[in-house]
Chain A
Amino acid sequence: AQRVTQPEKLLSVFKGAPVELKCNYSYSGSPELFWYVQYSRQRLQLLLRHISRESIKGFTADLNKGETSFHLKKPFAQEEDSAMYYCALIKSYQLIWGAGTKLIIKP
């Protein structure tokens, strides 16, 4: 069965420190993966998708098919990065979501 796992419910790091939000998936076939973000009092929004291979707000994510992972990374955390982050994969028309990781950036 297709599944997305985010092992950390909460991640707290200091401003300026590197950040890595973990995401593992199970999927038979070639997955298409996404990271969504929800800032406080805002709605869910797309942060990045693996096929575009972009860096958004300093975040990058590389699809590792061998480890079935799609970890989100940023070399230097900023306070405005504090938010809820969700990893998701697409199966046909539907998104399958992880449970999310709350990222707190300490000043």
Chain B
Amino acid sequence: ETGVTQSPTHLIKTRGQQVTLRCSSQSGHNTVSWYQQALGQGPQFIFQYYREEENGRGNFPPRFSGLQFPNYSSELNVNALELDDSALYLCASSLSGGSSYNEQFFGPGTRLTVL
């Protein structure tokens, strides 16, 4: 069984650019959640995808968007990068979605630095 993987590990971008982060979910999982973790803070929920549809969204602007593919892997896209977008981006996969909670398994994260 393969765990959650994320790519790239680290990324440096400049303000105004666009970035795509990738996540491969754990085998058998159909739900992916994305989180932003600023330095010294807990993760903040960005959105969740369940069976290729956005299943819920946190308090993030529309320039944060995502996709989930038929194999349940996922992308997080951020347009018009701002300095405050510098953070660790975590992906977590789980089985099933909706309002019930099933344990989320986390990837190692992508460290994004915006200059």
Closest-by-CB residue of A relative to B92 is: A44
Q: Are B45 and A96 in contact (CB under 8 A)?
A: yes
| Interface secondary structure of A, over-half rule | strand
Mask of A78-107 contacts with B, CB within 8 angstroms, 1/0: 000000001010101111111110000000
Give the chain A neighbours of B101 by CB distance below 8 A. Answer: 32, 90
> What are 5 A-to-B residue pairs whose CB atoms are below 8 Å?
A32-B101, A44-B90, A45-B105, A96-B45, A100-B42
Q: Choose among B35, B43, B99 the residue that contacts A92 (Cβ–Cβ < 8 A).
A: B99
**Residues A99 and B90 in contact in the complex (CB < 8 Å), given A44-B106, A93-B48, A93-B98:** no
List the A side residues contacting B108 at CB < 8 Å: 43
Contact across chains for B107 and A43 when beta carbons are under 8 A apart? yes
The answer for the CA separation of A9 and B40 in the assembled complex, in Å, is: 9
Question: In the complex, what's the smallest C-beta–C-beta distance from A25 to chain B, in angstroms?
Answer: 13
Nearest-neighbor residue (CB-CB) of B58 within chain A? A94
The answer to whether A99 and B40 touch (CB under 8 A), given A44-B90, A94-B58, is yes
Determine whether the beta carbon of B106 is less than 8 Å from that of A98.
no
Verify A99–B41 contact, CB threshold 8 A.
yes
B42's partner among A32, A86, A94 (CB-CB below 8 A) is A86
